[in-house]
């Protein structure tokens, strides 16, 4: 660490290197911490979480009973022990609360004045955060599984909505109506995601085993259908052009938008090159997935080797994206985990599960507990008892 | 607690992970040679050595040497620690023509791997003196070296390689091709039906051995030391490699060795 700092100071190394090294070290030390808690408001499973991209301070959560809660994640007290309090919530007594389970919530990407929520009651509601009133409602014919608004869009305000029908609907927030429909899938759309790199590229995943990339400006059909065998029919056991051998449950672009991760009910996760739709054939092993609706997983950003956090039963599995190595399984929830989000400023992970809890996974810091101090002082000469990250960053070799 | 964290930091940070004591003792899957220094080198670093190791475990006597020794992809995963690297190496070997990969019918994921030489000699021996010998020899000579894929299409066979329909029917009768759907065929091993039957039964039997154990977990050394039930004909070690690689059991390293545990999910 001191080596990195002095190299940065002298201009020998890029400042980003120190930041990435420290972020990676912190992500590798994620664990449950007794000092960090999230207030328990939900009385039923937490289906979705979203942290606002502007400051990374406020988090929205949507539950199976239709309740939406807004948490403040920042620790403004000087104490190490901190509970993330709920600032406000759309409870069951609210006149405009969703009738059934809220499947996806998302902050408006450009500021925290607005957020959108979609639910099994066939609506997409646009909320004003300060007054907690509805600004607009979009009604659909089928239950809504997922929606997403582009995080980088400046020229359009389209929300892509995936419903139980095979058509992806694009709703325009400015005009208040559905602007167009993307046809191509054959069964329900379980996940949609805009690319964080190009504002017109959309990826959709459906229960018909296909994942498609669209350019919404194009009238005719999708750009690419992801094929797990990369076009080689000889390897395919079934019909080609399927991304998975089961339903495709979840989609996530990497933070630079160059790669796309998909998970499917065939217990596999695949990494695709998002520019040409090629399967990079990175093998993550068995990624257990029996979710009948979408699985919301997330990737880290700002680390030197990016990590993906996937809900795996009642644990969260952490893999390095480009090499497929499983780093660890984060155990802590009592029932199946439904969603997780990563806060990239502090390298924290928040996960919501069916046991109504939201857990905060915090990088473990080397705190000196009074008992350990004596041991540390005794063992100071032998370097192997220093935390590994520090040893490497100092450049000390035993 | 700090010891647990050490294992999480990857090698990119230039760390020498402290050798766990478990590495030093003999791996019971390898059976013999308990030498401390040698076990490190016995672990195959590459897919080729992994396939050779499994081929050694294959019981040739059971099939009277009529079947080429088949290894499964999951067994290679259990021996080579990094799956992506194993996949890439197997693909390279396939392109070089050293191994053939065959789709075993019972599972989408289960693919059989065997050395091309073994396959060729066994198939020639099997079709000796039969009416379809000529077609099979033509197939082995022209198609096998040219096309390394798992399956063949109708137009590929008729136009590129010049096979007529009666010849293709003879190949199917010989067991070298299996019908996949109209106009395409899988590459197959003649006489592999018995192997697949023993394999499926044996896999279920070994899995039930773990399932019946108390707490649904068994020490690897204890499992290998037990008497194999009658339905396990291919050998316990063969099946254990497959179970570990297919992630049908979780491998937990303990102070008494590796523990096989059924996953909760």
Domain that holds residue A193: 31-365+376-394
pLDDT number for residue A238: 57
Interface check for B151 against chain A (CB to CB < 8 A): the answer is yes
Report the candidate in A50, A83, A58, A36 with the shortest Cα–Cα distance to residue A364.
A36
Distance to chain B for A282, nearest Cα, Å: 5
Q: Which of B6, B8, B147, B183 is best to mutate for the A interface (most A CBs within 10 A)?
A: B8
Q: CB–CB of B5 and A286 under 8 A?
A: no
> What pLDDT digit, counting tens, does each position of A213-250 carry?
999 998 788 899 999 888 776 655 555 688 998 999 99
Q: Which of residues 299-318 of A touch B (CB under 8 A)?
A: 304-305, 312-313
State how far the Cα of B237 lies from the Cα of B258, in Å rounded to an integer.
Answer: 14
What's the whole-number mean pLDDT along residues A63-76?
Answer: 93
Q: Is A184 inside any structural domain?
A: yes
- Euclidean distance between CA atoms A191 and A211, whole angstroms: 9
Q: Which residue has the tokens 């100092």?
A: A394
Q: Is residue A18 part of a domain?
A: no
pLDDT digit string, tens, across residues A346-366:
999 999 999 999 999 999 876
Q: Confirm whether A299 is domain-assigned.
A: yes
8 Å CB contact of A234 and B149: yes
What's phi and psi for A81, nearest 5 deg?
-85, 125
CA A165 from chain centre, in angstroms, equals 24
Higher pLDDT among residues A178 and B10, named by residue: A178
**Mean pLDDT over each residue of chain A, to the nearest integer:** 88
Q: Does B265 touch chain A (CB under 8 A)?
A: yes
Min Cα–Cα distance to chain A from B124, Å: 24
Per the listing, tokens 């390298």 go with A347
How much is the pLDDT for B130? 86
Number of alpha carbons in the 13 Å side-chain half-sphere of residue B244: 24
Q: How far, in Å, CA of A186 to CA of A167, rounded?
A: 8
Print pLDDT tens along chain B (265 aa).
Answer: 444 444 444 444 443 343 433 333 344 554 433 333 333 344 567 899 999 999 999 988 888 888 999 999 999 999 998 999 999 999 999 999 899 999 888 887 889 999 999 999 999 888 888 888 888 888 888 888 888 888 888 888 888 888 888 888 888 888 888 888 888 888 899 888 899 999 999 999 999 999 999 999 999 999 999 999 999 999 999 999 999 999 999 999 999 999 999 988 6
Contact A204, A212 (CB under 8 A): yes
Looking at the domain assignment, is residue A7 inside a domain? no
Structurally, how many domains does chain A consist of?
A: 1
- Measured CA to CA in angstroms, residue B74 lies from A5, A286, B56, B109, B113 at distances of 45, 12, 16, 9, 10
Residue A17 lies in a domain: no
Structure token digits, residue A92: 């069951």
Q: What is the token pair recorded at B150?
A: 């798992």
Decide: helix, strand or coil at residue A107: strand
Give the nearest partner residue to A234 out of B6, B83, B151, using CB atoms: B151
CA distances from A111 to A58, A62, A309, B40, B121 (A): 11, 19, 26, 56, 70
CA distance B9 to A392: 10
Residue A76 in this model has a pLDDT that exceeds 90? no
Does the beta carbon of A393 lie under 8 angstroms from any beta carbon of chain B?
Answer: yes
Strand order, beta sheet including A133-139: A102-107, A114-119, A123-128, A133-139
Q: What is the reported pLDDT for B34?
A: 33
Domain of A179: which CATH number?
A: 2.130.10.10
Side by side, which strands form the sheet with B184-187? B151-153, B184-187, B177-181
pLDDT at A202: 95
Question: For B43-95, how does the pLDDT look when each residue is reduced to its tens digit (9 = 90+)?
Answer: 567 899 999 999 999 988 888 888 999 999 999 999 998 999 999 999 999 99
Per the DSSP assignment, residues forming a β-bridge with A133 are A128
Q: Considering the domain boundaries, does residue A64 fall inside one?
A: yes
Q: From the candidates A29, A331, A388, A398, which should be mutated to test the interface with B, based on the most B CB atoms within 10 A?
A: A388
What is the signed CA dihedral for A214, A216, A222, A225, rounded to 10 degrees? 10
Establish if A13 belongs to a structural domain.
no
Q: Which pTM value belongs to this model?
A: 0.85
Residue A324 domain flag: yes
Chain B positions in Cβ-Cβ contact with residue A4 (cut-off 8 Å): none
């Amino acid at each position: 660490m001191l080596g990195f700092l002095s190299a940065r100071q002298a201009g020998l190394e890029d400042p980003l290197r120190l930041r990435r090294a420290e972020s990676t070290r912190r992500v590798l030390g994620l664990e449950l911490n007794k000092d960090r808690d999230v207030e328990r408001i939900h009385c039923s499973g937490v289906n979705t979480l979203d942290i606002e991209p502007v400051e990374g301070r406020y988090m929205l959560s949507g539950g199976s009973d239709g309740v939406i809660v807004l948490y403040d994640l920042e620790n403004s007290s000087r104490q190490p022990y901190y509970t993330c309090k709920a600032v406000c919530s759309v409870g069951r007594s609210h006149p405009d609360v969703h009738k059934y389970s809220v499947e996806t919530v998302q902050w408006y990407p450009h500021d925290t004045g607005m957020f959108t929520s979609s639910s099994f009651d066939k609506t997409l509601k646009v909320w004003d955060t300060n007054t907690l009133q509805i600004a607009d409602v979009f009604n659909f014919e089928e239950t809504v599984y997922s929606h997403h608004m582009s995080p980088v869009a400046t020229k359009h305000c389209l929300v892509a909505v995936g419903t139980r029908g095979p058509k992806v609907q694009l709703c325009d927030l400015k005009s208040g109506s559905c602007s167009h429909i993307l046809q191509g899938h054959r069964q329900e759309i379980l996940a949609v995601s805009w690319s964080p790199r190009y504002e017109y590229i959309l990826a959709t995943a459906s229960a018909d085993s296909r994942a498609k990339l669209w350019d919404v400006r194009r009238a005719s059909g999708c750009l690419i259908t992801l094929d797990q065998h990369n076009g080689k029919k000889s390897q395919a056991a079934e019909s080609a052009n399927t991304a998975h051998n089961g339903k495709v449950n979840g989609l996530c672009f990497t933070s630079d938008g160059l790669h796309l991760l998909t998970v499917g009910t065939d217990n596999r996760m695949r990494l695709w090159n998002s520019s040409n739709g090629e399967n990079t054939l990175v093998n993550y092993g068995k990624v257990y997935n029996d979710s009948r609706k979408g699985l919301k997983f997330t990737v880290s950003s700002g680390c030197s080797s990016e990590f993906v956090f996937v809900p795996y039963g009642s644990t969260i599995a952490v893999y390095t994206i480009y090499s497929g190595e499983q780093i660890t399984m984060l155990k802590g929830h009592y029932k199946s985990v439904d969603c997780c989000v990563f806060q990239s400023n502090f390298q924290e992970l928040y996960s919501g599960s069916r046991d109504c809890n939201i857990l905060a996974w915090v990088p473990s810091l080397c705190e000196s507990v009074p008992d350990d101090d004596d041991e540390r002082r005794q063992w100071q000469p032998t370097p192997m008892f220093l935390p590994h990250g520090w040893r490497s960053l100092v450049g000390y070799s035993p | 607690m700090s010891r647990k964290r050490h294992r999480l930091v990857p090698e990119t940070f230039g760390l020498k992970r402290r050798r766990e004591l478990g590495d030093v003792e003999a791996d019971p899957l390898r059976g013999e040679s308990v030498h401390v220094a040698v076990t490190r080198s016995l672990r195959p670093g590459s897919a080729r050595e992994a396939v050779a190791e499994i081929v050694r475990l294959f019981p040739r006597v059971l099939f009277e040497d009529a079947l080429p020794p088949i290894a499964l992809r999951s067994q290679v995963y259990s021996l080579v620690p990094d799956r992506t690297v194993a996949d890439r190496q197997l693909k390279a070997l396939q392109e070089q023509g050293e191994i053939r990969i065959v789709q075993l019918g019972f599972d989408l994921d289960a693919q059989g791997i065997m050395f091309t030489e073994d396959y060729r000699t066994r198939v020639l021996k099997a079709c000796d003196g039969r009416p379809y010998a000529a077609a099979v020899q033509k197939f082995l000579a022209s198609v096998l070296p040219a096309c390394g894929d798992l399956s063949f299409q109708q137009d590929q066979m008729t136009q590129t390689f010049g096979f007529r329909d009666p010849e293709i029917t003879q190949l199917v009768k010989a067991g070298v091709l299996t019908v996949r759907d109209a106009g395409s065929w899988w590459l197959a091993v003649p006489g592999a039906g018995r192997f697949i039957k023993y394999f499926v039964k044996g896999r279920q039997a070994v899995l039930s051995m773990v399932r019946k154990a108390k707490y649904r977990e068994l020490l690897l050394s204890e499992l290998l030391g037990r008497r194999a039930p009658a339905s396990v004909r291919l050998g316990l070690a063969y099946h254990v490699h497959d179970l570990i690689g297919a992630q049908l059991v979780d491998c937990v390293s303990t102070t008494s060795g590796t523990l096989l545990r059924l996953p909760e999910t």
